[in-house]
Structure 1
Amino acid sequence: MAFDADVYEREVLRPVRVGSGALPEDLLTRYGMTAPLSGRALTEHLRAVRSYWTTKSGGAGGLSRVCKALLAADTALAKTGDLASDAFWRDAARRRDQLRAELVTDLADDLRREYSGGVTEQQLERLPDRYRPLTPAQRREAAAQAGLRLITTIELPVACGLPEAKMRELDGKLIEAGLKSVVAFFMPDVTAPFTLIGGLSVPGSPSLKLGRPVLEEAKEDAAALGNDPASQARRAVLRLVEDGVKNGGDLNRIALAHFAHVLSRSSGSGHAFIVREATSRGLHADDAEVLAASLAGHTGPAPQLISVQEVRDLLTEGRLHAAQQALSSIPAETEGHHEVAAAVAQAQAKVEDLLRQAATADAATVEGLLRRAGAIAGDDPAVIGMLTRLPPPAVTDLSVRSSAGAAELSWRLPPTGFPDVHYRIVRTSGAPAVSVADGATVTTTTATRAADPDPPPGHGVFYTVFATGADPRNPDAAWSPPVSAGHRSLPPVTAAKGRLRDGSAELGWRAHPGTVRVTVRRGTDAPPRGHDDGTEVRGDHDSCVDGGLAADVEYFYAVTAWYRDEASREHAAEAVVISLSARPRVSRKLAPVTGLSVERRGTQVLVAWAWPKGVVLAEVRAGGGPHRISRAAYISAGGCLLPMVDPAVPVEVRSLQADTDGEISYSTPVTAQLEAPAATVSYVVDVVPGGGIRRFLGRGRARRVTVTVDGPCAGDLLVVAARGTVMPLRPEAGEVIARRSLSGRGFAIDVEVPEGIGRRYWLRCFVEGAPGTRLVDPPLSTLKVD
């Protein structure tokens, strides 16, 4: 076969020029032979190849240098043997075959060390110069000896409907949620290695697929999530995935594209490292090999190294962890690398300082410290974990009262940065609960009041309230310190009534099942003042008859239920008074009550008035049905206690009296209204989420003011910034930088402190236009900025 100069240049000279420059050890390859030649054919071939070298060596460039080296090697080789003899080239062919056999063995060892499951044709083509003598078939033979399968790569980047910036955001939110892949987000129970190339496949679970049903199920689950950092991150993951689907992607391609995005950051770390990273995230080794090989052979526009500006953006977004990862992929000689590296280091130092302070801080300040750390490194697993384990502050103002046999509890939560708080109420006997696992759980609620409908009557118990900012069903949820209150339930008798007949009083009532006995004491013209006052009237558990009564006397019967505690000691419930009178009544126009007043008494209202002479019954209306109360019951209770009423609804009281025929006479009504309560306004000042790092880049003066309004308030909230070290005591002492109506239940407002205020300043809120409003400041350390 004649010497082909073009093939020789392409297959021999150019690989030498672009490689290490070493000439091929295989002499047949060096001289452009595919097999040993002999006779005239050998002579013609040597003349042609040497002529080619001579011609090329006279030019310029890399090929000229290679040909000069070949000519020099040819001269040296001619001194050691007869290149024109057939035997020389047959011996060269034997040495080539021996060399190739050794190279196949060496290559198999190298491939076994470098790759774990498979190798691509492209990777076999891009071997070091040492393996250049091997044919493609011999290279595949070496791969087979190494136990590697030949891999067909996939096209990168994977088109999934999410641009690179959104994919980076998706990865960051998965990290915040504590997840390693999109598959783990939709199928948290999958533990076996799964494949994604060609669609999701889980060994042993052929029905598991990534499609519309799992997306809809995830949307339903998201509706029940709380507002802790991990839950917020999960909602963000769902939003980004939905965007990808809307833009033409599907869940399988999004999941595969996320793996390609994550692994591209490690594309310079070696094949085995990339495969280990992929399998550690749940991907099957076969898919991991394909992705690693595809990244190694990728020549398109992506994956792309992150720019210095993108690192700055990540810092500004409060994603320090992602910024550190991105910075590691930027060459140190890149313009701006030194400055952004210093900003990353400074942010890391600040986070570490905040975490050190939080480790020894008291409960009142640890939340603020951790939230400041979260504003800088909201994607850092350590910070996320500490925020997730952070409990809300202990509740305050816990009170317990009896109502119709139930125990009603109410409490307050101090100002906190937790958007959603759940409360668990635990009932114990003997001692207060110290953990949510103690005693019996009464209820779990998001309201600041609860009721135990059936507390054990007579027994002393403790009610303890715990608070958490996480899902209360999570066994790892962090609960606040306990706050307890003691209570003894002593339900009075109910449905008490009586009537006079032929000089006898017939009384009846209903007693709680836990009642051990009921006593009845009779008084004349006034209720008995105690358990020993008046005359004892014997009866049954739910009724009694009292005879021999005079016709013109008003009688008062105090009915008392008694209970035993855990030590068998008796305790009396509040007495219920029944008034009866045998005086004849004549229908007539009654005098109205006078001096009507309506006042708050905790969660109830006290309605009080002066009774007209001779009137023993009154009817009270407060926006609902009528409530009748006797003069005796009024005197016993010190007034008429009603559930809390709407201040906008007037309370109406009328005297009433029934004559001997059962006809009822009413007085004209008298009305009064409950004075509207003074509102309580509390607030928390914190760094704007995602903006905490601005201060380290010299740009951050943004703050978020979260306001809670307890009760109606018609005033405005003023946010005032005041320079210096003295806290402002009135709005005029600083500059009003924001104003907001307090007509709602609460809100959050972001403010930017003007540069003219200076570096050291106070940020404090005031209420304007609502006299009497109670303003609760947060800890002073959160108001002062220096």
Structure 2
Amino acid sequence: MAFDERRYTREVLEPAREAGGLPPEDLRIRYQLHESMTAADVTGTVKQVRQCWRRARGMLKYKRLADRLEADHARFAPIFSAAAEGDLRPLRDALGESEHRAARRLSEAATRLADAAGPLRMLSPALLATIARSSGVGHEEALRLAAESSIEVGDPDTLPEAAPYAGYGRAREALDTLGLAHLARFLYGDRCAGMRVLDGFAVPGAAPVEDALEEAERYWAARTRGPWTVGADTVIAALRNSPDPGTLVRYDIVARLRERLREHPYDDSLLRHATTELDLDSGDARRLVFAVRAEGGGVATGPAARLRELVGAGEIHAAADFAEALDAAALTGEAAELATEVRARLATAIRLRDRARAALDPDDAWIALRDALRRVPDLPGASELLLRLAPHPARAVRVSVQGDGVGLVWQPSPSRAGRVVYDVLRNGTVVTSTDRPSARDERPPVNVPLVYAVVARREEAVAMPAVAATLIVRPEPAEVAFGTGDGVVSGSWRLPAEAAGVRVTRDGLPVPAGESGFRDRDVVNGTTYTYVVSAVYPGQDGEAVTPGVRRAVTPQGRPRPVTGFTLRADPSAPGTFLVRYEEPPEGAVEFVALDVPPPWPVGTTLALAELRAAGRAIPSIPTRDGQAIRPGAGRSVLVAVTVAGELATVGGHLDHISLVPPTELTATRRGGTVFVGFEWPQDVTEVEVMWNGHGVPVTSAAYRARGGVRFDVPESEPVVIEVMATSLVRGTRVRGPAARFDLPGRIPVHYDVTYRGPAWKRSVVVEVTADRPVLLRRLSLVLKPGHVQPTTADDGVLLDHWTDLAVPARLTVPVPRQARPYWLRCFAEGAEDGPAGRAGGVALIDPPVRRLKVE
């Protein structure tokens, strides 16, 4: 393979430069060698690599590295000389040794990274770069080593330097008065475990901080006034007046972590403090400790450091022993302060332990002992005593069979201290544990006496069990199903494996039955019977019979078919059809849609389930003389079916194609042309338009291309327009219901406006003509000043009007005294917009504009 200098620079020289100028130990990487090379290949490749070094030496950033590479090459010159002569054994040995050195260098770098990351498993990018350079590994290689060791590399989070609320100090004092570890405890109590304060404040599974603050306000407002409510008011005021309550909570956590850092604890102690006492999520705890560490501080040595370490680890009693063993000269300064704190905490814990031993109420003792262990986790004898402080027992356990399982409910333990868990035992074996006063045993033994008990437990201390009454679980037969026929009732079930048999009764009388079903022919059609199917179990005193599964069943005779029916579209509901038929004497009529004609002859009786599986049931609504059905779009075969119980008799059928009529049909005249428009029906490709004995098919494409349908009819002739969807069914054209529009005829009436007479006595003459005599109920002459003509009889000044005017007619009006320009125009009563108006089937047609406008 040809030598790639760019790749060599990118993968070898650049990482070596970033590693402080240390060349890679592995000679395979340094000289771009691999096992399959021949002696000639090795010699040629090494020559090209050294030429690359010389060229790189001309660049300032690689000069030092190139000198180091050339200096090291002198050590390997004999190996490559032997390779040039055909002996590759020295080279193979050197490659193996260099591989070991490279692995050792990586191992040492990984160890240094792990030591620097510590328990936090976090490193800053600057520290990682320093370790990478001093270890002789590249930056990318160091990042890979950190990832393999689960070390997170990143800059520390920025922490607030000052409190976002000026009165934080008073709020801190109020929290101490209330005995709360931090602000989140005030808002959420013990629910704030796993709290996150970085990347936004959140408590898993809890309400937002604003809602929690409102809940805290309501809680403290309901409390009796006292020093505790004054402190609560101070804390609430701080949270309310802070720009963001979550930010104040975060600062409170950071401030407490910084205070703990002044004690110089180890990282393990800080993490434990952050997660247990400050209730932080483990991820946020690591990041906060890392950020606080980055602000400054380190690990000291000596008696004070050891005391801090023991205190941080919760070994207070051990710290007291250590302080007692020290010379008085060693207990100075910080060590003396720590020893005093340790002794005080130990003395308080001992008093609490003694109080717990003397307490009569186990709850009081438990509270005192938990307080002692919180101060001194390693207090001698405290953990053993805690194990003996059982809660008060649960009471009144009630059990009941619920299907195949057993349900339990009980009165909870009245203990008020600690978290009480309930262990549910069945015949002495724990079935489940819960903190609720109810449980369920999903898989209890069958036909066996069962004794359930509930044991209240607080940590490892258990109370006396609360025992329920003995019960026996005997499941009923499952999957019980009944079928009816003509004078017969059948039943089937699945018997539980533990049952010895089954017992079936009809209205209290026994019915012969097999292990999985029965067939009862001693019934009368139309009569309702009550059947009970019970499981029989072997018992100590003979057979035990379950209450059974109860069903009311009515056998029906063979239903009669509906031999024929009619189908008519419902004009008031598009897509709905009215079906009429002769009602059978018994049973209910249903309609089923099939894709093909039914394979059963009329009168065939079969199981209802079989028929419904072959087709699609059609929704229907009963009407006075039939049903209203909606077959849906497309073509189908409608079958009438008479249903009685589980039987169905096939009746007549009808080919049907859903041809929905068009909607929003409109028609208008423009002279002798009629324009028709409508909303094209869904799933229809063609319609037929009929008018006055004429018809034309129209496709959806043609309708859309022409913007509707148009045809010519004399203006005086009335038009009845019908539009219906059509389709070809087996070569025959089928038409759906029609949408109809009646358009009356109109008689065209023309009028003209002229001026007659001398200038001092001119008149306006209106001549009205028609092809045949016609009577106008009202004709108005309107004047409108300006350049815009009037559009209605009210749009201007009425000059004159005539009622019951016989056409033809000539009308005269004095010329109006009106400044020009102005318009004159006639209107018939009820005229529409446009050049022609309509009044009772008469169209009034204007003369040319030059006759109407006076300029």
Q: TM-score, normalised by structure 1?
A: 0.31
Larger relative contact order, structure 1 or 2 (CA cutoff 8 Å, min sep 6): 1
Q: TM-score, normalised by structure 2?
A: 0.29
